[in-house]
Amino acid sequence: MLGQPCSEDGANLPLNIPPPPRYTNRDPDDWTPYRSRIEFETAQFIYCRAQMSAPNIDTLLDLWASTLLKHNEPPPFANHTDLYNTIDSTPLGDVAWQSFSLRYNGDEPEGTLPQWMTSEYDVWFRDPHTIIKNMIGNPDYNHHADVAPVRIFNSNGSRVYQNFMSGDWAWEEAVSSIFFFCPHIFDTPRTG
Amino acid sequence: MLVPIILGSDKTTVSVATGQNEYYPLYMSIGSVHNNIRRAHCGALALIAFLAIPKSESS
């Protein structure tokens, strides 16, 4: 239970190996709704990193347009509205919504059926397995997630509960006979 | 690898021009991610479904 990374068939991997690329159906060169990687990186720089005001974005894009004029090419965005619209139309995650219909199919009572027994209901969902794979593979959570349950003790020897994986539930879910043969950080074998 | 799955749902009322609609969004997170990250809009809490809630009419 050291949380060492391993391959799909269980072979141990080096500790600092980066996770595999995020699962997606899209072509690696497909930056839609951005026309190119440069356009995406421009938007990320202006909006996320520089957090530029709308008038400054317009000034920058005007200067950009005038330098590209002689090559007869447009700037990455026409103005701040074009930039904002492109960012707003960026899909969040790659997991598509799906739906199915269902209705009551159990025993029917005599007399008039209540409406809910005869109605059809739509359920909309996204594949949870893919979403979980994306969460586990998200590099933003590096050093902010536990891959194995932990028991944390302070200098007085008292138990410290901090995150989900430091709790008893996670610990007890993961305990197996193999566990007792593994070294662990704190010498506190579970008893009882 | 242990990946605990956390699910939660709460009724949400959405008012639009055509009237009031009630939705039952289902959220999912994983227990491995630290609490401060789950609270920080980093995509660790994902909307995975809208549940269908049959209503019994009161007569």
Q: Which parts of B1-59 are beta strand (E)?
A: 5-9, 12-16, 19-23, 25-30, 45-50
Residue whose C-alpha is closest to residue A77's, from A61, A54, A63, A88: A61
Instruction: Inform me whether the pLDDT recorded for A41 exceeds 90.
Output: yes
Residues of A in contact with B52 (CB under 8 A): 102, 121-123
Give the whole-angstrom CA distance, residue A124 versus residue A141.
Answer: 28
Is there a domain that residue B49 lies in? no
Query: What's the predicted TM-score (pTM) here?
Result: 0.60
Is there a domain that residue B37 lies in? no
Full residue range of the structural domain in which residue B9 is found: 1-25
Closest CA in chain A for residue B54? A116
Q: How many domains does chain B have?
A: 1
Rounded to a whole number, what is the distance in angstroms from the first to the last CA of chain B?
A: 52
Inspect the interface and report whether the beta carbons of A115 and B57 lie closer than 8 Å. yes
Element (H, E) at A101: strand A97-102
Mean pLDDT throughout B5-25?
Answer: 80
Instruction: Inform me whether the pLDDT recorded for A57 exceeds 80.
Output: yes
- pLDDT > 90: percent of chain A: 33
Inspect the interface and report whether the beta carbons of B47 and A136 lie closer than 8 Å. no
Is there a domain that residue B11 lies in? yes
- Integer angstrom CA distances of residue A159 from B2, B34, B45: 21, 18, 28
Q: Does A132 touch chain B (CB under 8 A)?
A: yes
Out of A119, A124, A147, whose CB is closest to B32?
A147
Inspect the interface and report whether the beta carbons of B49 and A125 lie closer than 8 Å. yes
Is there a domain that residue B39 lies in? no
Instruction: Inform me whether the pLDDT recorded for A174 exceeds 90.
Output: no
Instruction: Inform me whether the pLDDT recorded for A20 exceeds 80.
Output: no
